[in-house]
Amino acid sequence: MHKSSILLPLAVVILLLTGCGEENENNSNDIVNDDPVTTEIFAMDTYMTLTAYGENAQTAVDDAVNYINDLDAMLSTGIETSEISLLNTNGEYSLSTDAATILESALEVTSLTNGAFNPTIYPIMTAWGFPTQEFRVPSDDELQNLLELTDVSAINFNEETGEVSFDTAGMAIDLGGIVKGYVAEKVAEIFTNDGVTSGIASLGGDVQTLGLKPDGSTWRVALQNPDADGDYLGILEVGEIAVVTSGDYERYFEEDGVTYHHIIDPSTGYPAMTGLHSVTVISEDGTLADGLSTALFVMGLDEANDFWRENNDLFDAIFLDDDGILYVTAGIADCFSSSYETVIIE
């Protein structure tokens, strides 16, 4: 589908790997020689890998798997009995703590990104056939009508009680753009509560690290090359952080030679065509990172760079454009190495 020739290696960028996480030479404690416990599961429509180190690793991974499955059942739009499905069907529902917390974060990201992230996008996702994979291209008129259902101010939400209702019939929410970041953060919390100090969770494009590697060194997170299986765009060396990627290659269909992907521009109802191929957000806040990766994709490179300049205390980002060029924000540049052409955003 995509031209793989756009990603020819251009220049070897060798960067000093300093200041990337708190490397700790003295952290070679008793868990160094322990093999990690690693489990792979399929949940939330994606393959996930959970890895924990140390003597409680098995318990921690088991607890995290149970939690992920519970949240999937609670939040999936594809499960009729999920809280989100009940809210979408009835137009009102009293959400439990996790679901309410995610909705609260989603609405915060909506306001921070001026609506580039919009959790009321679900009727439009449905029109394109993404939830059922019965893909179709909706007419302009249909999309214009559906856009009226994407006004977040028509959501009544009591953050204390979790009660939600919609002012307009037919509104529906979709937390798919943010939920994995929240869950990945929670996995790190579960690991910690179970006594694990070192681990990594990879939930599709959402990576969350906990602590440092058992030997005290930083994690090496490879960014996948969307156009070549097994190849990667570069390596991030990080401490405890979230690294979340959104791209047009994750879910898409083709009709009459045109590719339609799953990240929708809420101002048009069409897949966002901004010249970006993928966006990776690096942040200490995993939920924010997930919401932002979706939103920055919608914004496109120039707007996303301006947004980063205004919010560079919250996150860093790596953009891959349709020409195969990588753009890396200055705050993370020293922690990223790549053999592809890389431009540093100041």
In the structure encoding, which two tokens stand for residue 202, read together?
């990879």
Q: In whole angstroms, give the CA distance from residue 147 to residue 66.
A: 37
**At its nearest, how many Å lie between ligand AMP and the CB of residue 8?**
27
318 to 3, 125, 321, 330: CA distances (angstroms)? 20, 26, 10, 10
Q: Look at residue 199 and give the partner it binds from Mg ion, ligand AMP, none, a contact being a CB closer than 5 to 8 Å depending on partner kind.
A: none
**At its nearest, how many Å lie between Mg ion and the CB of residue 264?**
12
Consecutive H or E run containing 247: strand 242-247
Nearer to Mg ion, 177 or 324 (CB): 177
Q: In whole angstroms, give the CA distance from residue 208 to residue 283.
A: 10
**At its nearest, how many Å lie between ligand AMP and the CB of residue 77?**
8
Nearer to ligand AMP, 24 or 46 (CB): 46
Nearer to ligand AMP, 2 or 251 (CB): 251
Would you count residue 205 as binding Mg ion (CB under 5 A)?
A: no
Q: Look at residue 119 and give the partner it binds from Mg ion, ligand AMP, none, a contact being a CB closer than 5 to 8 Å depending on partner kind.
A: ligand AMP
Q: Look at residue 21 and give the partner it binds from ligand AMP, Mg ion, none, a contact being a CB closer than 5 to 8 Å depending on partner kind.
A: none
Give residue for tokens 């694990």.
196
Give residue for tokens 């454009």.
321
Answer for the pair 74, 83: CB distance below 8 angstroms, yes or no. Answer: yes
**At its nearest, how many Å lie between ligand AMP and the CB of residue 250?**
6
Q: Look at residue 239 and give the partner it binds from Mg ion, ligand AMP, none, a contact being a CB closer than 5 to 8 Å depending on partner kind.
A: none
Pick one of 194, 237, 240, 290: the residue that binds Mg ion (CB under 5 A).
Answer: 290
Nearer to ligand AMP, 250 or 334 (CB): 250
In the structure encoding, which two tokens stand for residue 343, read together?
């431009």
CA angle at 140 for the pair 134 and 143, rounded to the nearest 5°: 65
Q: Look at residue 328 and give the partner it binds from Mg ion, ligand AMP, none, a contact being a CB closer than 5 to 8 Å depending on partner kind.
A: none
Count of residues in the chain: 346
Answer for the pair 216, 58: CB distance below 8 angstroms, yes or no. Answer: no
How many whole angstroms from its chain centre is CA 17?
Answer: 25
Answer for the pair 287, 295: CB distance below 8 angstroms, yes or no. Answer: no
Residue 229 has φ and ψ, to the nearest 5°, of -55, 135
**At its nearest, how many Å lie between Mg ion and the CB of residue 132?**
21
Query: Under the rule (CB under 6 A), what is the footprint of ligand AMP?
Result: 117-119, 121, 125, 174, 176-177, 246, 250-251, 262-264, 266, 290, 293-294, 298
Nearer to ligand AMP, 175 or 333 (CB): 175
Answer for the pair 239, 218: CB distance below 8 angstroms, yes or no. Answer: yes
133 to 127, 147, 205: CA distances (angstroms)? 11, 21, 20
Pick one of 123, 162, 177, 226: the residue that binds Mg ion (CB under 5 A).
Answer: 177
Nearer to ligand AMP, 91 or 129 (CB): 129
Nearer to ligand AMP, 20 or 187 (CB): 187
Residues that bind Mg ion (CB under 5 A): 177, 246, 290, 293-294
